[in-house]
Structure 1
Amino acid sequence: MNRPIIALDFKNKTEIENFLAHFPQDEQLYVKVGMEIFYKEGPQIVTWLKSLGHDIFLDLKLHDIPNTVYSAMKNIAGLGVAMTNVHAAGGMEMMKAARKGLEEGSLSANRPRLIAVTQLTSTSETEMQHDQMIQTSLIENVVHYAQITEQSGLDGVVCSALEVKEIRAMTQADFICLTPGIRPLESAVGDQKRVVTPAKAKTIGSTYIVVGRPITQSKTPYQSYLKIKKEWNDE
């Protein structure tokens, strides 16, 4: 059964411990560790979550010169995460360097999956065109990023579920489309601008979905998780 990835966007380890206390101890989760908690707690937060049996998407969105990203990915590979990412805007040479670093730093033959961020789901087309001076449509830009990501040897992209259909038409069948900005119908959109429900993401063809506040800010997190998981698996 597919698991929604839970975004652990908390301030510290104690808050995560309190959150996970709502779940059965033997429930193996797929969780996202982002910049906020990683920069607070360091790599130890990954080691701890792995010790609890959880799979980890390390969401640091690396974007730097190729050699720096290569070296960083060698270190990330040693943490044993399931998946990590870079910004596609860093270019093909950077993405190739990222993959090389993961391959050389991995403790086993199976390196972590590597995906690239296209455009953040908080970014509108107007903002992209004005702030980034990218004068194509947003969907054209996202598809272009997906294509160069695939050409660079990466496993997929982070994108809005609204863009999955167009990406799938231009990439291989096993190309990953990980989609954040997932909101059940009754949830507030918040600062996300390109959002869909879990059921819609399933229909469109998202490979993974990331869900944060509808679970982490719920009064009953485990029940909310199960509801989203059920909808995601179309049960």
Structure 2
Amino acid sequence: MNNTPPIIALDFASAPETFAFLNRFDGEELFVKVGMELFYQEGPSILEQLKHRNCRIFLDLKCHDIPTTVYKAMKRLAGFGVHLVNVHAAGGKRMMEAALEGLEAGTSAGQKRPSLIAVTQLTSTSPEMLHEELLIKTPLAETVLHYSRFAEESGLDGVVCSVHEAERIYQEVSPSFLTVTPGIRLADDQKNDQVRVATPADAKEKGVSAIVVGRSITKAEDPVAAYQKIVREWKGIKA
């Protein structure tokens, strides 16, 4: 997945809104993220429509439940033919192992299973929230690193983290381990509800595997131009 194009977060409420946005890209093959809002509204049909447009898909449902339930859920998700799925690392090693087992069981012979990554801490989580609301006294970066180690030990392909933790993670895990980083903003963009944000250039410098970009593209006056600007920064191309 290294050097993958920016993953566009399709944070829309319906299929018509989604495809009105995608139609502006004139058939360009994109890597997109389908989250809970869109998937719960449209169901698996939205995935088929996106695949018909030759989109690569990150299905971002953040599964977190007992191991048996997650195994069964992942077995079903494997049949959707997406490229990337995720769970919450906070579910523990056994749950992550069960998720991987479910994906492998649900992937048809001769097909490649979706890559599986674990959410460490959401990029909306601040150190204050971690300590005061979640009662986790370990520093935020140490918590992310700990979850990343367990994800790798569980056989997962990578983690969701912020750009700020990626460099430290790669001191502890295999170079092939994926770091998928949301919270990406252009330098002059609003942070909105994100806390641990970074620019595409920051992400490139820190060696992350993939960046996920939402509002900086979807809410831009010219989404195509915004996407192209982010691609240039991500690739290190000077304007």
Assess same fold via TM > 0.5. Answer: yes
**Is the contact made by 2:4 and 2:209 (CA closer than 8 Å) also made in structure 1?**
no
Distance in structure 2 (CA, Å) of the matches to 1:122 and 1:19 = 25
Secondary structure at the aligned position of 1:57 is classed as: strand
Deviation at 1:47, TM superposition (A): 1.0
User: How do 1:69-148 and structure 2 match up within 5 A?
Assistant: 69-107=70-108, 108-148=110-150
Calculate the TM-score normalised by the size of structure 2: 0.96
SS in 2 for 1:232: helix
Is contact 2:186-2:199 (8 Å) kept?
yes
> Where do 1:152-167 residues align within 5 Å?
152-167=154-169
Equivalent residue in structure 1 for 2:14, among 12, 16, 19: 12
- The 5-angstrom pairing of residues 196-207 of structure 1 reads 196-207=198-209
Q: Is the 8 A contact 2:84 2:116 kept in 1?
A: yes
In structure 2, which of residues 166, 186, 189 is the aligned counterpart of residue 187 of structure 1?
189
Give the AA of the match of 2:140: L
Separation of aligned partners in 2, 1:126 and 1:155: 29
Counterpart Cα distance in 1 of 2:223 and 2:106: 35
In structure 2, C-alpha distance between the alignment counterparts of 1:119 and 1:86, rounded to whole Å: 11
Partners of 2:97 and 2:117 in 1: CA distance: 11
For 1:174 and 1:116, how far apart are their aligned partners in 2?
15
2:211 is matched with which residue: 209, 213, 232?
209
Tell me if structure 2 keeps the 8 A contact 1:2–1:232. Answer: no
TM-score by length of 1: 0.98
Q: CA RMSD in A?
A: 0.8
User: What residue identity is the alignment partner of 1:43?
Assistant: P
Q: Are the equivalent residues in 1 in contact too, given 2:29–2:55 (CA < 8 A)? A: yes
Q: For 1:116 and 1:212, how far apart are their aligned partners in 2?
A: 19
| Residue in 2 that maps onto 1:174 | 176
Can you list the C-alpha shifts for 1:200-233, whole angstroms capped at 9, x where unaligned?
1000011000000010011111111111011101
The match for 2:46 is 45
Q: Which moved more, 1:104-113 or 1:213-222?
A: 104-113
Deviations 1:112-153 (A, max 9, x none): 000000000000011011111111100010000000000000
**How many angstroms does 1:177 deviate by?**
0.4
Unaligned runs of 5+ in 2: none
Q: Distance in 2 between matches of 1:138 and 1:106?
A: 35
1:124 maps to a residue whose letter is S
Structure 1: segments with no counterpart, 5+ residues: none
- Which structure 1 residue ranges, 4+ long, deviate > 2 Å from structure 2? none
Q: How many residues are treated as equivalent by the alignment?
A: 234
Letter aligned with residue 2 of structure 1: T
Q: Deviations over 1:169-207 (max 9, x none)?
A: 010110000000000111111110000100010000110
Is 2:85–2:114's contact at 8 Å kept on the other side of the alignment? yes
**CA–CA distance in structure 2, aligned partners of residues 109 and 221 of structure 1:** 34
Identity of aligned residues (%): 53
Please give the alpha-carbon distance, in whole angstroms, between the structure 2 residues aligned to 1:158 and 1:131. 21
Equivalent residue, structure 2, for 1:34:
35
